[in-house]
Amino acid sequence: MAKLDETLTMLKDLTDAKGIPGNEREPREVMKKYITPFADEVSTDGLGSLVAKKVGNENGPKIMVAGHLDEVGFMVTSIDDKGFIRFQTVGGWWSQVMLAQRVTIVTRKGEITGVIGSKPPHILPAEARKKPVDIKDMFIDIGASSRDEAKEWGVTPGDMVVPYFEFTVMNNEKMLLAKAWDNRIGCAIAIDVLKGLKDAEHPNVVYGVGTVQEEVGLRGAKTSAQMIQPDIAFGVDVGIAGDTPGVTEKEALSKMGDGPQIIIYDASMVSHKGLRDFVTDLADELNIPYQFDAVAGGGTDSGAIHLTHRGVPALSITIATRYIHSHAAMLHRDDYENAVKLIVEVIKRLDKETVEKITFE
């Protein structure tokens, strides 16, 4: 594996952390460790979202940059008498990416390795073999011989189950493979935006936020935005990469490495036109690459944030990512770095007058 620089070490720490919705403590601690040196104040809301505040002009507008801490995973619902574990998906999963994958169950007594199993195809009728296995017919095998043994090891209904995957820098060292890019890359962007403003003057108060429970309905974005009451917000997340075999440009336009995605429309929000134009005009001026995208299904934290307080002009800036909501996703380091650069430069220019102009444009 390539030698990890400071940025890659942070990305590894963030993606290795285990945290499904409602269980974000571990990634929150990692984010807190990395963002605290660049913040004036770090707090949490009542649901556990992390809010790091950096003051430029304390009377200036409040700017929120939000990535979500949670990743998709599973939750133990019951243990059968033979020691096999039944589970609930937490966040969206496609059944075809789940079978035979290794998982980690986090119990009060420690971590337990398991594998997702189902009835073997060899004993299924020919017709059944052609169909994908339903999630309800899958189980997790931890090698226990009985319910009592599994319980003795600490497994309890409600325990989180997390995909197991090791952070990997690929042969093309710009290509990074890991679990939980959705959305630890957003958390990394929030950290690096505050870092980029460390010694810079900015005419506002910036909040780098790690929200909780995005994958189950943008819940932490709602509570943290109520707490902050921002004037402008950026949701930073992953988007769909359309550069793999079989994907047409009609289905997905974006390519890894071509710059951050500016989301003009998704199922949770029609992007604020004034903010979108301000961001893309500045990107053009500074020669920072970007690509437009529209997503018919799904949304980001921006969807909840823009409806809080008295309404917040918001824009989602995302990173084109392959294979999201699976054990291993891939993104391009340049897109991440250009997203940070763009947001930092935008924030430096968001003074009171500019925010008012954007808001009413």
Helix or strand holding residue 103 (H, E): strand 102-107
Catalytically annotated residue among 214, 337, 345, 361: 214
**In this structure, what are the phi and psi dihedrals at residue 179, rounded to the nearest 5 degrees?**
-80, 165
Q: What is the DSSP code (8-state) at residue 351?
A: -
Per-residue burial over 121-145, b = 16 or more CB atoms within 10 Å of its CB, e = otherwise? eeeeeeeeeeeebebeebbbebebe
- Is residue 127 part of the annotated active site? The answer reads no
> How large is the angle between the packed helices 181-196 and 333-348, nearest 10 degrees?
40
Could you tell me the two tokens for 86? 């039944």
Report the SS3 class of residue 307: coil
Contact indicator for 145, 34 with CB cutoff of 8 Å: no
Q: Which residue has the tokens 């995909």?
A: 163
**Mode of pairing for the β-strands spanning 102-107 and 41-44:** unpaired
Distance CA 54, CA 42 (A): 9
Q: What is the DSSP string of 121-135?
A: GGGS-HHHHTSPPPG
* CA–CA distance, 231 with 48 (Å, rounded to integer): 22
Token couple for 17: 């952390």
CA-based torsion, 308, 263, 244, 333: positive or negative: negative
Q: Helices (H) and strands (E) in the chain — how many of each? A: 10, 18
Tokens of 141: 């095998």
Backbone φ, ψ for residue 261 (5° rounding): -90, 135
| CA end-to-end distance (rounded Å), the chain | 49
Task: Tell me the catalytic residues.
Answer: 214
